[in-house]
A and B are shown apart, each in its own frame.
Chain A
Amino acid sequence: MSNQRQASSASQTPHLSPAELSYLYTSLSLPKSPIRPDGRSPTQFRPLTAESNILPGTNGSARIGFADGTQAIVGVKAEVEKTVLSTDTLASGEGGESTAATSGHGSWVQMSIEIPGFRDDDALPVFLSEMMRESLVGAVVEGGDGGGDVMMAGGLKGRLVINKRWHWRLYIDVLLLSQPLSYPLPLLSLTTHLALLSTKLPKLKSQGEEDPFFDDDWEVAEYLYPRGSKLKATSGLASQYVRPPVTLLVVSVGENVIFDPSREEIAVADAVLAISVTRDTEAGNLKLLSIRTIDPPSRLTQPAVPNSENVNMLGATAPTEDIAVLNPATGEEEVPGVWRPRRGGVKRSVIANMIKTVLKKGGVGEEVLEGLEGVEVE
């Protein structure tokens, strides 16, 4: 149990020896051209298989499997619910003009994550679901009258409003099918994104403030996130449609910024950030929604002992071999090739660099969003 608690903020640290950790760190922190254990480039993602609309019993669903075998399934279900107008709202009359009834409420989106081996209320599932929900309900589109679609004014929250008295409640259930091999955030976020893209709500037949009733023909159901016709998409207007946010896991090792880290890579990271982005409907570029630091597991690793301090090696080596040098990334004295668990935090410049790599035009964030749109949602 205590083992799981420890795994709360970081994923389980693999059992790597200090020598292996040091080797990994050195190769990943090579200036300009890090060497990753699987030969990927720093911004390259692992191959994955994705499909959506796999469960007919849900409003939207998706499955993504990473090449390492971890799979996640997300099912989205929607229910009609009565909007509880608080007495305050009624009393305040036209002054308050029931903002909740028009702009939606964050609690209408519920998210639960199930990871085998973890209880529902363990820290890791709670932290992950709060992280993904926060960016999901936070993605409010301002000025829906502009280039964006009118239907998505107010973001996801606004879309859930049926009329002043009724709204949709969205349940997003995330199911991880096996014990996570690496920090499961990218997998869960991508799968949730895909499931939300494929989510449909029945077409409303009632009008205005009537009690809602719906067209029972599923063929005419409308997408939760409206999508354009093929024609529009090809003419480059696809970016105008609101898309669900996607949360990327970014680590920094030395001066390098590495995306989609594997378990071994995350074990030596100096800093781990989860960055949520979505597409800005007005400007057409990416918008930052939230950042959270994740406890890097490198702080929990075992330190190595340099030869100069090792009693067993006394006199075996020339003392000149171990000369502490200053690691420019961490600002600490280190003996090369001798692993020391990371200490301290991360410099502001490093954070800025990581965010820039995600957000920049043609950067990784755009690439991921485009890739996900490429998954045909039928």
Chain B
Amino acid sequence: MNDRRRVNGPPGGTRPPVYASLLQSGTGADIRAQRQRQPTDLRKIFLKTGLIPSASGSSYLEFEPSASLAAARSNPKSLIPPSSALKLACTVHGPKPLPRSAPFSPNLVLTTHVKYAPFAARKRKGHVRDSSERDLGVHLETALRGAIIAERWPKSGLDITVTILEAEDDRWWGDVPDSHDASWGMMNVLAGCISAASAAIADAHIDCLDLVSGGVAALVSDDSTDSSSALPKLMLDTDPAEHRSIVSACVVAYMPARDEITELWLKGDSSKVSTADGDERSGHEALIDGAVDAARGAHTVLAEAVRESLQKALGQS
């Protein structure tokens, strides 16, 4: 759909040129960023609530950029950033009465909007929400609706808006843009949206069953060198820029207190996985369990951030 209200930039977007000579350093070694974390290590998360005073609840979330990014900034070898990070803000408005024309609802009516800032990703996003943003909105709605105790607010609505300021990329910038097109970055974005929205909902004092947090796990086959028999390995909290080939990925919204998943999105071929000896789990089970572990990790940050905001609120009163 065209955006007729604004003067738009060129439709294809712009991106810095990448020269072949920059892809290979002088020694021929690849300057592609490599994952330096352990497979089960998560990136640090910065999460703060209550930054937007006009909203009834708000939060800001940021993933720590990978170590290689800092290194590349201090000692630039290439114009290509080695990886991207995730920065997003979430606001919650409500609970507020539904408009008079709306039909009766015995429960809280949740509406979710996910919007990329035009500059958030490598490719410019328009001001009108495109299909991937609408898709993310539906995922987020599913994840949150399971956690909110909706029957305590009949006839009311709750608007949740997530603005993504910087989005995880789907691949390394230096890679051929068409090398693969699966939107793995979107899954990280969704996990971030879930955690941030959960914090914002807690900040708005909406009753929930538990703080629902998002986590991503992926099966990665990075060994481009040796035999193709190497099976994909399970990694938690994958940054798509750090991996050559992600085979499949899974994002969950998880409530640790109840050990329940409110949202599950798995895609890709998860039939082959290299598991530890004696591990009888099939690929998709390992993937789901991995994502749950990642979500547990995010939950500790979430709980801390919510506690902080509560202490602040108590201090003020």
Number of A-B contacts (CB under 8 A): 169
Chain A count of residues within 8 A CB distance of the other chain: 61
Contact of A351 among B139, B151, B177, B288 (CB under 8 A): B288
Question: Any chain A CB within 8 A of the CB of B9?
Answer: no
Question: Any chain A CB within 8 A of the CB of B263?
Answer: yes
Q: Give the contact stretch, choosing among A51-59, A60-68, A127-135.
A: A127-135
Chain B residues near A295 (CB-CB < 8 A) = 138, 141-142, 145
Contact A135 B267 (CB under 8 A): yes
* Contact of A303 with B151 at beta-carbon distance under 8 Å, contacts A126-B135, A280-B271, A293-B262 already known: yes
Question: Any chain A CB within 8 A of the CB of B279?
Answer: no
Contact A91 B19 (CB under 8 A): yes
Chain A residues near B259 (CB-CB < 8 A) = 347-348
* Contact of A348 with B292 at beta-carbon distance under 8 Å, contacts A99-B178, A293-B142 already known: yes
Question: Any chain A CB within 8 A of the CB of B278?
Answer: no
- Report the nearest B residue to A291, measured CB to CB: B266
| Complex Cα spacing A9 to B135, Å | 10
Contact of A302 among B106, B111, B147, B255 (CB under 8 A): B106
Interface of B is mostly: mixed
- Report the nearest B residue to A286, measured CB to CB: B271
Q: Give the contact stretch, choosing among B86-94, B97-105, B302-310.
A: B97-105
| Complex Cα spacing A364 to B126, Å | 42
Question: Any chain B CB within 8 A of the CB of A288?
Answer: yes
| Complex Cα spacing A174 to B285, Å | 33
Contact A9 B138 (CB under 8 A): yes
Contact of B253 among A3, A126, A345 (CB under 8 A): A345
| Complex Cα spacing A170 to B284, Å | 30
Expressed in whole angstroms, the minimum distance between the Cβ of B2 and any Cβ of chain A is 12
Render B105-118 as a binary contact track against A, CB cut-off 8 A, 1 for contact: 11101010000000
Question: Any chain A CB within 8 A of the CB of B40?
Answer: no
| Complex Cα spacing A130 to B136, Å | 10
* Contact of A142 with B269 at beta-carbon distance under 8 Å, contacts A293-B264, A347-B259 already known: yes
Interface residues of A in 1-42 (CB under 8 A from B): 2-3, 5-6, 8-9
Chain B count of residues within 8 A CB distance of the other chain: 64
| Complex Cα spacing A300 to B146, Å | 10
Contact A138 B176 (CB under 8 A): no
| Complex Cα spacing A347 to B179, Å | 36
Contact of B131 among A2, A129, A138 (CB under 8 A): A129
Render A347-360 as a binary contact track against B, CB cut-off 8 A, 1 for contact: 11001100100000
Interface residues of A in 137-193 (CB under 8 A from B): 137-138, 140, 142
Chain A residues near B292 (CB-CB < 8 A) = 348
Expressed in whole angstroms, the minimum distance between the Cβ of B247 and any Cβ of chain A is 9
* Contact of A93 with B131 at beta-carbon distance under 8 Å, contacts A343-B209, A351-B264 already known: no
Expressed in whole angstroms, the minimum distance between the Cβ of A353 and any Cβ of chain B is 11
Q: Give the contact stretch, choosing among A82-90, A230-238, A318-326.
A: A82-90
Contact B131 A299 (CB under 8 A): no
Chain A residues near B139 (CB-CB < 8 A) = 292
Interface residues of B in 257-279 (CB under 8 A from A): 258-271
Question: Any chain A CB within 8 A of the CB of B69?
Answer: no
Contact B181 A106 (CB under 8 A): yes
Contact of A9 among B23, B141, B151 (CB under 8 A): B141
Chain B residues near A8 (CB-CB < 8 A) = 138, 141
- Report the nearest A residue to B17, measured CB to CB: A87
Contact B179 A344 (CB under 8 A): no
Sample (27) of A-B pairs whose CB atoms are under 8 Å apart? A2-B98, A2-B109, A9-B138, A87-B17, A88-B18, A91-B20, A93-B20, A105-B181, A135-B267, A140-B269, A288-B284, A290-B265, A290-B268, A291-B267, A292-B139, A295-B141, A295-B142, A303-B151, A344-B255, A345-B146, A345-B147, A345-B255, A345-B258, A345-B262, A345-B263, A347-B261, A351-B288
9 new A-B pairs (CB below 8 Å) besides A2-B109, A300-B107, A352-B285?
A87-B17, A100-B177, A126-B131, A127-B135, A289-B269, A344-B255, A344-B260, A345-B263, A348-B288
- Going nearest first, the 7 A-B pairs with the smallest beta carbon separation are A100-B178, A345-B260, A345-B262, A290-B267, A91-B20, A106-B181, A302-B106
List residues of B whose CB falls within 8 A of some A CB: 1, 17-20, 23-24, 98-99, 101-103, 105-107, 109, 111, 129, 131-132, 134-135, 137-139, 141-142, 145-147, 149-151, 175-179, 181-182, 209, 253-255, 258-271, 283-285, 288-289, 292
